[in-house]
Amino acid sequence: MADTASATQKSDLGIRVLSAIVMLAVAGTALWMAGTAFIIFVVLIGLGLLWEWSQLALRFAQSAPAKFLWLIAGALYIAFACFALIAMPGPLRLLAIVTVIAVDTGAYFAGRRFGNKKIAPSISPSKTWAGLYGGMAGAGLVMVLTWLLIASAISAFASKPQSPGAIMTEHPLALLAAIGLGALLAILAQAGDFFESWMKRRAGVKDSGKLIPGHGGLFDRVDGLLPVSIAFWLLSRVTL
């Protein structure tokens, strides 16, 4: 029995890795091509997300008005996130995606290494406070590195260019702001994750769909990216 379980786990791992490679290749190609190809890609993903959302909502919404409101809310939420991804500048779009990846990576490793206290076990049993802090650290690191890259590029044109260490020393408030922004984005990504988990709990399902072998549905993969994309677009409207 143990050998069978081990073989099954290895088989599942292989499927998950292969699916992840295919997802990265497709998404990366769409990002690289940009323009119309990227818009078509995002629209198709959005339609897939709306389908999965509707299947979840229709399973737990009891009355016709409730079902209608859930469908409208899903359409608005997903459409806003898709619009944000399309409308924001390319570098900012890439930063949003990298930030969510950093959140997921930091949460995964911190949760496995230090995780013991659950945040909300009735909604998502796998989410721990350590994982949240790891995600905040990952996003904070991305924000700090991005800020240093921009600040260093600006400093290179000054009469006395500064090193990254000097920039951090002379601008502690900006450093703290970058760390804080990363932490807030991580919380937002985790909130999106929890919201999707809550919907799945109410619907009584493990995954939002079966489109991606070993990973579930589209909603399972981009639940954190949706609110983060909206936040990045709003930030771009304020700062750019």
54 lies in which domain range?
A: 2-239
- The dihedrals phi and psi of 212, each to the nearest 5 degrees, come to -105, 110
d(CA 44, CA 80): 14
Provide the whole-model pTM. 0.86
Tell me the pLDDT tens digit for each residue of 186-226.
Answer: 999 999 999 999 999 999 998 888 877 666 889 988 999 99
Treating both helix axes as pointing N-terminal to C-terminal, what angle do 2-33 and 90-114 enclose, rounded to 10 degrees? 160
Q: Count of domains in the chain?
A: 1
Helix (H, G, I), strand (E, B) or coil at 128: strand
Number of residues assigned to the chain: 240
Q: How confident is the model at residue 6 (pLDDT cuts 50, 70, 90)?
A: very low
